Amino acid sequence: MEGIRRITNGNARTVSAEEAARLVKSGMWLDYACSVNQPDMFDAALAQRVGDLTDVNIRSCLTVRPRSVLEADSKGEHVRFHSWFFTGLDRRLHDAGLCHYIPLNLGEAPDYYRRFIDPVDIVVVKARPPDGDGLLNLGPTNMWIRAAVERARLVIVETASGLPHVYGEDNAIHVSEVDYVIEGDAAPPAELPNAPTSDVDRAVARLICAEVADGDCLQVGIGGMPNAVCSLLREAGVKDLGVHSEMLSDGLIELYQAGLVTGARKQIDVGKMTFTFSLGGRTLYQALDRNPDIQSRAVDYTNMPHIIMRNDNVVSINSTTQVDLQGQAASESDGHRHISGTGGQLQFVRGAYASKGGRSFICLPSTYEKNGVRKSRIVLDLTPGNIVTTPRTDVMYVVTEFGMANLKGRTVAERVRAMIGLAHPEFREDLERAAHAKRLIPRGVATSESRATGTATAPSASGVR
């Protein structure tokens, strides 16, 4: 393994979860790793004594199972939980005042631990039992776990033989870096159900799939639309696709199992699917296990633009929830209510742009429904409090079910006209009137063509090569 290795003073000691939980003292900062590698037995044991503690902070990400310690401290009097990226569970905790978001471009996380975060008092992480070389494989979640371990005062591993064994540099902790081991169980990792795919998702996916060619290198985000892209790509029959992605999803594995992902035309990690975390169903985890075609790398390798750009023809596909008429994409909050996180969206948008022949697609349905009323996701002004995830200067292609628009090199007026063309027809006239009132469109310049056809006036991705 590359990087700094944390060396303990002796061999890792095997303890019970209760003994490990007694190591926690008031005022400590704990790190629970991420996703399916969050500890369960330790968490349950800590919940049993949470009333004896004060001012304990836990840092984590992508919670996939309820946290016992938070259920035991339902008023947040003893523990504060912090997350780098929310799931639905984290969001509900946030709404109850029990979880707080930490802003982050995900690929910078290892550097945060090494430069900006005080040493973690205790890192607690799930990993596979040690192999013959003393390595405890991290399975589907690499992320920044290595950096957190390097900076920890104490490392506790809860073994989990149900995790798949996943190859990749630094996707393991050596037993010499571990202070205590909790012998865990063989329970399979938590599964993430796929969101249902709608007709709108498929309409957007068809537009994006038309722009994907043989040999392109894919990054696919989370959600119904990116999953729909993978489904339609299977039908399109493109071949020799590569994968360099933050998340390895069910959809990408299905493309691989269909023989459409070979990585043969990648410039780095040739022949490998490269990712930093994987979350999905049982078939996905089975495909990961000891598969030499798949490698998990630290998030500062998968997500940093200067690494992403080393592959040609990177195609980045991510969802958003709201875009204003100038192209600002707000993907992580609903006003002041935080719903997800910055994740890797901005870094992959920038990495794809810098890639030779690369393209990035930000996709969204044109509308949503609230209290039985249809509302536009294409807006003059973002909802007050909404966080801009991808600035207008970085957005390349925006896609709704009504078309695709390239915003690169476009004037404000051209952007506005293109975005109005992507909006639902019901809202175009009001958007045009508002844009004129704010002088975003010069007086006398109409957008009637966009209003009539539903097609964005800015160039599509066709001919991008």
Q: What residues have CB less than 8 Å from 393, skipping those under 6 apart?
A: none
150 is known as an active-site residue: no
Answer for the pair 232, 205: CB distance below 8 angstroms, yes or no: yes
- Catalytic residue (one of 246, 332, 401, 432): 246
Provide the β-strand partners of residue 152.
Answer: 120
Spatial separation of the C-alpha atoms in residues 399 and 401, rounded to whole Å: 7
**Residue 35: closest CA among 255, 322, 343, 291:** 343
| Burial (0-12, 13-18, 19+ Cβ within 10 Å), 102 | middle
Spatial separation of the C-alpha atoms in residues 174 and 165, rounded to whole Å: 15
Letter string b/e over residues 414-446, b meaning 16 or more CB atoms within 10 A of that residue's CB: bbbbbbbbbbbeebbeebbebbbeeebbeeeee
Spatial separation of the C-alpha atoms in residues 131 and 144, rounded to whole Å: 22
Q: What residues have CB less than 8 Å from 34, skipping those under 6 apart?
A: 60, 61, 62, 84, 141, 143, 144, 145, 277
Residue 80's alpha-carbon distances to 11, 22, 61, 254, 390, in angstroms, are 32, 18, 14, 39, 29
Active site positions, annotated: 246
